[in-house]
């Protein structure tokens, strides 16, 4: 059985993925936040902005699913440390530890400034919608470099929104169910011919903005479609926003921070990325945007 490292394992995506992959792989989990490993899992607390930590967690694994980092738009310091330095450390530590395959959770926000009217595929030019989006583009560029220069096998998943059900109108177009996430990740781990691939991490949503033919070519057959939730979701939809509603990235295109779904715990937390976005500036920005 392969040993797979999941970084950022205590976040939302990591939590769904652990449940879905249980029993299929030996899971090595890492996060800067604490985590209680389940049976068959091993946990190593690590701050990936520290190269020694990145070296320690990547040693001896068959593949890495790199989810760790600052997961929304927010202050530059947090993004710099987790998504630029941290991401570099994970790629570089993987290379030094001779881990061939890396799956990177990039984001729809790497291309969030495409209009909602446009269907985009894996070949479009980048159009990040904020600092967070730029950091994801950085990770994509690293992936390209490490594939071309060092022969690593790199699978970039531009993830939409992972949730048991879509939470609003925008997410009807980018929803990624946990079981579809597990299917795509399994392809990224198992496919024999990965060199450098970009795919969209989304379900088979009727309202999708993506031509995900590259994922399909690699065998992805998503099981879920957000449409069954559409009526309920749209009935609850709040007021729109003149800019956010034009672009695929939504609020990320016009706010400076969004509330961080995975802040560091108050006590015992190391100095790190997630802390800053949990504070009031993020909430204020979102409140202001809602008022507009
Ligand atoms: C992302 O990239 C974030 O990691 C996630 O927290 C959501 O905000 C998602 O995008 C989204 O666009 O809904």
CA–CA separation, 175 and 216 (whole Å): 17
User: Any idea which of 12-16, 116-120, 263-267 has the lowest mean pLDDT?
Assistant: 263-267
Q: Is the CB of 107 under 6 A from ligand 1?
A: yes
Residues known to be catalytic: 132
Over range 138-166, report the average pLDDT. Answer: 98
- Mutation pick for ligand 1 pocket among 70, 71, 261 (CB with most ligand atoms within 8 Å): 71
* d(CA 98, ligand 1 centre) in Å: 31
Residue 183 in tokens: 């299917």
pLDDT class of 170 with cuts at 50, 70, 90: very high
In this prediction, residue 64 carries a pLDDT of: 98
* Stretch among 57-66, 245-254, 272-281 having the lowest mean pLDDT: 272-281
State mean pLDDT over 84-105: 98
Residue 250 CA, ligand 1 centroid: distance in Å: 10
Average pLDDT over residues 121-150: 98
What pTM, to 2 d.p., does this model score?
Answer: 0.91
pLDDT tens for each residue of 206-224: 999 999 999 999 999 999 9
7 lines ligand 1 (CB under 6 A): no
72 CB less than 6 Å from ligand 1?
yes
User: Cβ(108) to ligand 1 under 6 A?
Assistant: yes
Alpha-carbon 168 to chain mean position:
19
């Amino acid at each position: 059985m392969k040993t797979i490292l999941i970084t950022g394992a205590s976040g939302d995506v990591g939590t769904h993925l652990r449940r879905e992959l249980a029993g299929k792989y030996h899971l090595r989990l890492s996060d800067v936040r604490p985590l209680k490993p389940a049976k068959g899992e091993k946990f190593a607390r690590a701050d990936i902005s520290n190269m020694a930590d990145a070296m320690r967690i990547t040693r001896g694994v068959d593949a890495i699913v790199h989810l760790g980092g600052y997961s929304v738009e927010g202050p530059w310091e947090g993004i710099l440390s987790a998504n630029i330095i941290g991401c570099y450390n994970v790629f570089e530590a993987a290379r030094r530890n001779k881990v061939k395959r890396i799956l990177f959770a990039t984001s729809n926000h790497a291309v969030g400034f495409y209009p909602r009217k446009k269907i985009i595929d894996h070949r479009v030019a980048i159009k990040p919608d904020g600092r967070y989006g730029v950091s994801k583009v950085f990770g994509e560029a690293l992936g390209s470099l490490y594939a071309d220069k060092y022969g690593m096998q790199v699978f970039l998943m531009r993830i939409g929104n992972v949730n048991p059900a879509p939470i609003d109108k925008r997410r009807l177009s980018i929803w990624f169910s946990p079981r579809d996430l597990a299917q795509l990740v399994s392809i990224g781990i198992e496919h024999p011919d990965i060199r450098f691939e970009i795919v969209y991490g989304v379900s088979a949503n009727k309202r999708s903005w993506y031509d995900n033919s590259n994922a399909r070519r690699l065998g992805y057959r998503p099981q879920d479609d957000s449409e069954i939730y559409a009526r309920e979701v749209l009935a609850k939809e709040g007021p729109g926003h003149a800019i956010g509603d034009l672009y695929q990235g939504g609020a990320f295109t016009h706010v400076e921070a969004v509330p961080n779904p995975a802040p560091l715990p108050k006590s015992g937390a190391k100095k790190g990325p997630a802390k800053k976005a949990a504070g009031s500036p993020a909430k204020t920005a979102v409140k202001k945007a809602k008022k507009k």
